[in-house]
Amino acid sequence: MQKATPASFAQARIWLDEKIRFDPDKPQIAIYNMPFVYHLQPGHTLSIKQLRHALHLTVNKHPSLHTSLHFDIQQNLLMQRVITHEDKNNKNNMFSTIETAYKTDEQLNEILHDEKSNPHLFDHAQGLVFRCHIIYYKQISSNHLLSDKDILIFNFHHALFDFPSMKNIMGMFVSTLPYRIQLDRHCSFDELVKYVREKCLSILEHSHYPLQHILANLRINQLNISFLETIYDFITISSHSDELSLDGACFKQVSFEQSFEVAKFDFMLTFIYNPILENNRLSFRLACSHDLFNETTVTNIGRRLDYCFQQLFLSNETINRVDTCFTSLSKINLVLPEETQEAKDIIFCRQSHIRNEGMFN
């Protein structure tokens, strides 16, 4: 039996966040499920037996995929422990695998949504933090082969796994370092980018310092930290990051519908750069809490962001591009063109219902 050790500060934050936001005995929704959806390339097949064997080898190789989390009352610490085959009585149940079938897109969407938001898929205490969901088209295969219309979902819990880990080794390596940037309305966009870059690089030497200690030093209540509820993220997609290969069979990653996004924070803005798309397109998406924002507000925020980016990076007949080297930030317009026109109409245009009448004493 492996010895238990204190969990990382990142793991503790995620574990505690789930306990605070939701009733631990009756959780309503999951916010830290991380499903990755794949399907085989046309004409490719894969043996289920080979898939299971590959998954067992992968899970055995990476301890984080079979690590348990439990709170030690005596030490007042969240502890982690690698679960071994001895703990499982040498049974191959270090992770879960299920098989279902779908016939319509609606049924498939329901399954995908469940993988994203179901809070009962993982068991931290037992070290079950990874699962594989095999979804067959129309019926479960009788020849035990996956085809290109079948779907594979590899689902992880974020407390033991994060996105950067996919590139090299698996584990939880998230570090949160808050830092303040003072904006100067007279500086240009290029100067702001350079300033932010220098700030980001300057704090890397402190990346080992836990966020909990930073907040404690500043005497900040960790249960009510507004700036941690506003998150900005930038994701660069590699041309090969959405492809997998196993025994000659090639998989392609399938994107989730945006409606499946679960808001982990009050406001989250994610930029996505995909160099293989047309014109090296940079896109963004917003995930906002329904408790604070309605759909109209989020739509307007998105439109204003889009208009700012057009001013910075596009040039056409209706939009004058901002000179990012010299033009100050204060010249970037947040007011939409139709709002500007509406204001002009109200102030300067004669309204049809107003008559030339007055009062005389």
Domain that holds residue 4: 1-174+243-258
CATH number at residue 251: 3.30.559.10
- Domain-embedded: residue 66: yes
Low-confidence residues in the chain, pLDDT < 70: 1, 22-25, 27, 89-92, 161-175, 220-224, 238-242, 256-262, 276-280, 315-320, 347-361
- Domain-embedded: residue 281: no
pLDDT tens readout for residues 127-136: 999 999 999 9
pLDDT, residue 171, reads 46
Find the helix or strand (DSSP H, E) in which 282 lies: strand 282-288
pTM above 0.85, yes or no: no
pLDDT, residue 49, reads 92
pLDDT, residue 37, reads 92
CA distance 132 to 112: 12
The tokens for 13 are 């934050």
- Domain-embedded: residue 163: yes
CA distance 348 to 344: 6
pLDDT, residue 28, reads 76
pLDDT, residue 300, reads 92
- Domain-embedded: residue 289: no
pLDDT tens readout for residues 164-205: 445 444 444 456 777 778 888 899 999 999 998 998 888 888
- Domain-embedded: residue 170: yes
- Domain-embedded: residue 354: no
Question: Rounded to a whole number, what is the distance in angstroms from the first to the last CA of the chain?
Answer: 99
Number of domains in the chain: 1
**Residue 257 buriedness (CB in 10 A; 0-12 / 13-18 / 19+):** exposed
pLDDT, residue 18, reads 79
pLDDT, residue 170, reads 43
- Domain-embedded: residue 106: yes
- Domain-embedded: residue 116: yes
